[in-house]
Amino acid sequence: MINLVDLRRQFKSVEQEVLQAIAEVIEGGQYILGPKVKELEAKIAGRLGVTEAVAVANGTDALVLTLEAYGIGPGDEVITTPFTFFASAEAISRVGAVPVFADVDPVSYNISPSEIEGKITEKTKAIIPVHLFGLPADMDEINEIAQRHGLIVIEDACQAFGAMYKNQAVGSLGDAACFSFFPTKNLGTMGDGGIITTSDRELADKIRKLRTHGTTKKYFHDRIGYNSRLDEMHAAILLINLAKIDEWNQRRRELAERYRTSLAGVSDLTLPVESDHCTHIYHLFCIGSQRREERMKKLLQAQIQTAVYYPRCLHLQQVYAPLGYKTGDFSVAEALSERLFAVPMHPFLTEQEQDQIISILKQKDEN
Ligand SMILES: *Cc1c(COP(=O)(O)O)cnc(C)c1O
């Protein structure tokens, strides 16, 4: 089977370093929010060109704690995309605010700036653009709208570590940004993890307080918080993977280019597009086809794994029925949810394996 991602191959490529780092953490005797977490926070902030980074338990918590630190809650609205992983909207609901969706762009699959403005009301507090599949959202246009309306911009950068927008790193483009280190993310650990990046010191301090039960001084609590911290072992693993991430992202980009060149003429396939001012890191390589189910079945028969991201838009999720959306409200997102499927994409996919995938996709229809 050729898998969508291959975490064992990734581990094998850094095995000695990882095992040694884990042993050091165990021997060091400090397991949560220790020196490795501090080092990781400093390295990520430095790399992105922001002043603060706060590591937390996962990407969802990164979003929840950021929204809460901004004081967003009941009575507030936050605009985001209906075509993303559920957590982008779930975090908004978790703090008691209402997610308001705006349709996506048919080419980038990211939230369409021209759809945002019409969704702004007096209750709107923030916009959460998602850099979907590793491609940066249209941040200049989004920031311009936010500025004009006095809104906060929180990047959901969970799928896009290392992606660039006009020579600036994703994670440094809004007021704050949230990353996930879930194992299958392009920068992941062997468990859960997340981080918030910002250049707002006051915000970062509030998030630091929220991640440890609302304390600044141990056993003295001045607000209700969370237990949402990153473990030393994960920070140690992430420091190793962070040193490789540019190489890994570059390999993803090369494989994406190979897919694009080889599949360019296949009539029913739509391939991801790269604009000249963005560096896509291909967390996922999603292809569009009107004959998706048939395509996926053929690949499966050839022992090639595929998956659908995402089969149901967020405005049509059962849990959001009370928000009153209906089919047809976001036609671009809905069409994507019916057409896109992901093919294997990871830095350890061999060209030989990729050629097998390509040859199945190029096979002429037999029926
Ligand atoms: C993975 C992901 C999250 C949530 O991250 P977790 O670490 O799994 O909690 C949020 N938003 C997007 C877009 C994601 O892909």
**CATH assignment of 245-362?**
3.90.1150.10
| Nearest protein Cα to ligand 1, atom 2 | 158
Domain ranges of the chain: 7-102+109-242, 245-362
Q: Report pLDDT for 283.
A: 98
CA distance linking residue 306 with residue 288, whole number of Å: 12
Q: Report pLDDT for 367.
A: 45
Output the pTM of the full model: 0.97
State which ligand 1 atom lies nearest to the alpha carbon of 185: 1
Distances (CA, A) of 243 to 10, 31, 55, 157: 13, 22, 17, 19
Spell out the alpha helix ranges (H) of the chain. Answer: 7-13, 15-28, 35-48, 59-69, 87-94, 113-116, 139-149, 201-211, 232-263, 292-301, 331-339, 351-362
Interacting residues of 219 by C-beta distance below 8 A, sequence separation 6+: none
CB atoms near residue 77 (< 10 Å): 18
| Nearest protein Cα to ligand 1, atom 10 | 87
| Distance between Cα 158 and ligand 1 center (Å) | 5
State which ligand 1 atom lies nearest to the alpha carbon of 180: 7
Q: How is residue 84 annotated by DSSP?
A: S
State which ligand 1 atom lies nearest to the alpha carbon of 61: 9
| Distance between Cα 352 and ligand 1 center (Å) | 31
3-state SS assignment for residue 286: strand
Q: How is residue 364 annotated by DSSP?
A: P
| Nearest protein Cα to ligand 1, atom 6 | 59
Percentages helix, strand, coil for the chain, rounded to the nearest 5? 45, 20, 40
| Distance between Cα 140 and ligand 1 center (Å) | 23
State which ligand 1 atom lies nearest to the alpha carbon of 88: 11
Q: Report pLDDT for 365.
A: 58
State which ligand 1 atom lies nearest to the alpha carbon of 194: 7
Residue type, position 17, single letter:
E
| Distance between Cα 92 and ligand 1 center (Å) | 13
State which ligand 1 atom lies nearest to the alpha carbon of 132: 13
Q: Report pLDDT for 185.
A: 98
Query: For a pocket test of ligand 1, which of 63, 180, 281 has the largest count of ligand atoms closer than 8 A to its C-beta?
Result: 180
| Distance between Cα 169 and ligand 1 center (Å) | 19
| Distance between Cα 148 and ligand 1 center (Å) | 29
Dihedral of CA 252/254/258/261: which sign? positive
Q: Which residues of the chain have pLDDT under 70?
A: 365-367
Name residues contacting ligand 1 (CB within 6 A): 58-60, 84-85, 87-88, 130, 156, 158-159, 180, 182, 192, 194
| Distance between Cα 219 and ligand 1 center (Å) | 31
**CATH assignment of 7-102+109-242?**
3.40.640.10
| Distance between Cα 135 and ligand 1 center (Å) | 15
Q: Report pLDDT for 275.
A: 86
State which ligand 1 atom lies nearest to the alpha carbon of 283: 15
Query: For a pocket test of ligand 1, which of 66, 85, 283 has the largest count of ligand atoms closer than 8 A to its C-beta?
Result: 85
Q: Are 7-102+109-242 and 245-362 the same fold in CATH?
A: no
